[in-house]
Amino acid sequence: NAGVTQTPKFQVLKTGQSMTLQCAQDMNHEYMSWYRQDPGMGLRLIHYSVGAGITDQGEVPNGYNVSRSTTEDFPLRLLSAAPSQTSVYFCASSYSVSGQVPYEQYFGPGTRLTVT
Partner 1 sequence: AQSVTQLDSQVPVFEEAPVELRCNYSSSVSVYLFWYVQYPNQGLQLLLKYLSGSTLVESINGFEAEFNKSQTSFHLRKPSVHISDTAEYFCAVRRDSNYQLIWGAGTKLIIKP
**Sign of the Cα pseudo-torsion (65, 62, 4, 18, in order):** positive
| Measured distance CA(66)–CA(71) in Å, rounded | 13
| Residue from 20, 99, 114, 116 in contact with partner 1 (CB under 8 A) | 99
State the nearest-atom distance from the C-beta of 27 to partner 1, in Å. Answer: 14
**Within 10 A of 96 (CB to CB), how many other CB atoms are there?**
16
Our finding on whether 45 is near partner 1 (CB under 8 A) is yes
Looking at the DSSP bridge assignments, the partners of residue 10 are: 112
State the nearest-atom distance from the C-beta of 56 to partner 1, in Å. Answer: 8
Our finding on whether 53 is near partner 1 (CB under 8 A) is no
Our finding on whether 90 is near partner 1 (CB under 8 A) is yes
User: Judged by CB, which is closer to partner 1: 87, or 105?
Assistant: 105
CA torsion 85-88-93-97 (nearest 10°) is -60
Our finding on whether 61 is near partner 1 (CB under 8 A) is no
